[in-house]
Every structure is written in C-alpha cells, then in structure tokens.
Amino acid sequence: MASTSSDWDKNAEYYEAQIGRLTGPLAVELTEWADGVFPFATADTKALDNGRWTGLLARHLAHLYPWVSIVAADVSPGMVSLAEKEFEKAGLKKTVTAALAGLADASFLSFALGGYDWEDHWDLVLGRTLLAGSLVDPTTSFGEGMTALLQHAGLEVLGIRLLKARFCYETKEEIMRFSWSEEHPNLIAQRMAEGFSEEELEVVRPVFEEEFEGVWPVIGEFHETAVMCLARKQ
C-alpha cells in the first residue's frame, strides 16, 4: 500500500487520539520489559524512535529515563509537528526531527513498536468478496518476521515481546465508514475505498454488506499488536 509523508500529515491528530489511546498502555509495559532485558543504565545511552508517529514511545521513554538522549524521527512533518507540541506540553526537552539523513552515522539503542494484526475473522467477509488480497495478511507473524529481519542484518536479538490491545467498533455504521469512506482519517481505510472504481463498488459493496450481516458483531473486533524487539551489533 503506497503512501507519502503528506498522507500521514492529515492523520496525525487521529493517531494521537485513537491509536495512542489503544497502544499507550502497551508502550508502558513493553518499555519496562525492555529495561529489564537490557537496562538503559549509562549516561551516554541514545534511543531512536523511528517512524514514531506522534512520539508516544519517545515521551514515555523521556519520563522514565531522563538521562537517555532520544531522537524521534518520522518522514511526516505533520506527525513531527504534533510530537513537538506534546513534548513541549510535557516539559520534555528532547530532540524531534523529520530528517532521517545522517542517523546511520550514530549508534542507537533501537526498538520497534506497532503493527496491525487483522484477526482471522476478517477473512469471513473480506475473503468472500475477494478483497483480502488488498489488505494486510491476517496471518502475519510480526515477532518472527522482526527477528528474522534483524538477524539477517547481522544483529544479535536480545529479546522480543508482543502484546495485543483489543479494539471494538460499537456500531455497524462506524465500521462501514471505515470500510468505504475515502474521507476516513485512517490511511488504510482511505486506500481500501480508493482501490475501487464506481462500477466495481456497485458490484462489490452490496455483496460485502450482505455477508457482513452474517458475521456482525464479531467482525467489529480487531486487535492492535505492539512488537518490542531488542537487538544490538554482534
């Protein structure tokens, strides 16, 4: 699913309010777990929060470990701008930057948080209407994939942990808006809606809505998966 930095700019406030509420508690638990695996004990420790949306993880790190130097980077100026406001509001004097160039020249303690885990029951509707191929694979295993990626890069994986937060759509109208609205603030929803021509929508949407009735309200539930992986140079 192709996207640009400007796509995410207009999603910044949505992610701060919605996704932040969902994954915030996970960030706290995972950070404390990471500290137990690899303590942030030295004064010269630096942490990189890369692709960090509105700085949720960076803000938590700054509160827990005020001696850690944090660089929070993202390609979206909108995400960076909101993160800077949140840092200032919290009184955290840390660096937030959208410029990714040059970061490879430094050595960071790095870990990853986030990723969708679309539960198997989504396939009950999406698979029947031949939409599954355009979405995130519901069988994706983030932990194994992240470990393999880091090991392939020559890093030693110190530990990995996954947590899930449950999210539930309260009404049918809400989930229909997510599925079909090009104006929805979630970028995944926008891309799904933009992927069909008007002629295709006339065929696909009625079938979707008919199948949807048979799996509601189970179809309204999904989980956000937070992945924390600690790795270092061998």
Using a 10 angstrom Cβ sphere, with 0-12 exposed, 13-18 middle and 19 or more buried, the burial of residue 154 is exposed
Radius of gyration of the chain (CA): 19
The C-alpha atoms of residue 39 and residue 47 are separated, in whole angstroms, by 12
pLDDT at position 147: 80
**Could you tell me the residue ranges of all domains in the chain?**
5-166+223-233, 172-215
pLDDT at position 117: 42
| 78 Cβ neighbours under 8 A, 6+ residues apart | 5, 6, 8, 9, 10, 11, 12
Low-confidence ranges of the chain (pLDDT < 50): 1-2, 101, 110-140
pLDDT at position 141: 60
The C-alpha atoms of residue 8 and residue 79 are separated, in whole angstroms, by 7
Other CB atoms within a 10 A radius of the CB of residue 89 amount to 9
Return the CATH superfamily for domain 5-166+223-233: Vaccinia Virus protein VP39 (3.40.50.150)
pLDDT at position 130: 37
